[in-house]
Amino acid sequence: MFKIVRIHPSRSTDPVSDPVPPPEYKRRDFRNFIQSVRYAIEGFWAAVRHEPSFREDLIFVAVLTPIAVILPVKAVSTAVMLASLFVIIIAELLNSAIEWTIDDISLEKRPFAKRAKDMGSAAVFLAYINCAVVWGVILYSNWHRIETLEFRVCNVAVNRPGAKSTGQDFATNAKVGLHIDNHDKLLLSERQSAVQLLALNCGTSERFFNFLHLPVEELARQTGTSLDDPGEDRRQACQRLKDQFLAENPDYPITSVCLPPGYAYIATPQNLIHDGAASGSNVADVAFLMLGRYCWAGDRP
């Protein structure tokens, strides 16, 4: 026979245990900040080394950044234009992080993984659209100012480390040393109104701008030569004036301006005897050059 017995659970006589303490939160001090900065730098350089699309974005931003700074718009507009460029960099970094995380989990083709990668790519695409819209609106609303400037041509010049001269004769492909530029083939009497050159040091070492602080008209006055000879080639006229002045004034002082990385100068190279030089470091000299007409921010129309 079976007997039904009601069993009561035994009550423990042990004291009630203390609750599990929450995990200890990280202390936010200066050492954590330094560590976070180090991780951020490592992540940035990892993207530079392993992501071709990120390198392309950096080139795009590097080209447009000096243009945004030079354009005669208000400071707020310049800041917005620069911010739209950096949004592209941020979106590309996030997109790359998503792709690397998914590939680290599995390299198999999965629909959800594809959807996540497509969303990351869409973020980069929208960042470019945002940049185009921001730049388009600002340029359109400030076109009455921008059209007063004159941009001729831009170029990126690369010279070997320690180059004593960066001036180049494109006809002979040889370094020319001290010279007077002849981009517009102007008469010597017209050199005062020549376009200016903006040169930005994009390298990682110093570069130098060497020049004589005398305009062409003063050079001609001191040498007693005529400014304009209708039958003389403009390039030869510049060469003749430079050679004659240096021959008569071999000890004339030359001003040398040192440009650290990220610094620039604006000069009128068609109205000055000048030349550039690279530092003696073991890295190439890289400069962004742009011909045009520039003015101080306070003089903008």
Ranges of each domain in the chain: 35-146, 153-296
Which of helix, strand or coil describes residue 157?
A: strand
Rounded to whole angstroms, the maximal C-alpha distance in the chain is 139
Q: How far apart are CA 162 and CA 150, in angstroms?
A: 33
Whether 90 shows a pLDDT value over 90: the answer reads yes
Q: What is the mean pLDDT of residues 242-263?
A: 91
Whether 25 shows a pLDDT value over 90: the answer reads no
Whether 192 shows a pLDDT value over 50: the answer reads yes
Better pLDDT: 95 or 35: 95
Confidence of residue 2 (pLDDT cuts 50, 70, 90): very low
Q: How far apart are CA 130 and CA 125, in angstroms?
A: 9
Whether the model clears a pTM of 0.85, i.e. scores above it, the answer is: no
**Topology of the domain comprising 153-296:** Jelly Rolls (2.60.120)
Whether 4 shows a pLDDT value over 60: the answer reads no
Q: How far apart are CA 88 and CA 82, in angstroms?
A: 10
Q: Which residue among 42, 92, 150, 248 is the active-site one?
A: 92
Q: What is the mean pLDDT of residues 31-43?
A: 83
285 in Cβ contact with 161 (< 8 Å): yes
Which residues are 208's β-sheet partners?
258, 277
Q: Is 92 a catalytic residue?
A: yes
DSSP state of 179: B
H-assigned helices in 142-259: 143-146, 216-223, 234-248
Q: What is the mean pLDDT of residues 118-142?
A: 92
How many alpha carbons fall within 13 Å on the CB side of residue 160?
A: 5
CB count, 10 Å around CB of 244?
16
Which residues, at least 6 apart from 270, have a Cβ–Cβ distance to it below 8 Å?
180, 181, 182, 183, 184, 186, 191, 194, 195
Confidence of residue 247 (pLDDT cuts 50, 70, 90): very high
pLDDT of residue 130: 95
Orientation of helix 216-223 relative to helix 234-248, angle to 10°: 60
Q: What is the mean pLDDT of residues 110-138?
A: 91
Strand residues in the chain grouped as ranges (E): 153-159, 168-169, 174-175, 196-201, 207-211, 255-259, 264-267, 274-278, 285-292
CATH of domain 35-146: 1.10.287.3610
C-alpha of 211 from chain center: 25
Whether 137 shows a pLDDT value over 80: the answer reads yes
What CA–CA distances, in Å, run from 59 to 3, 65, 91, 160, 200? 87, 10, 15, 21, 15
Q: How far apart are CA 227 and CA 203, in angstroms?
A: 38
pLDDT of residue 200: 87
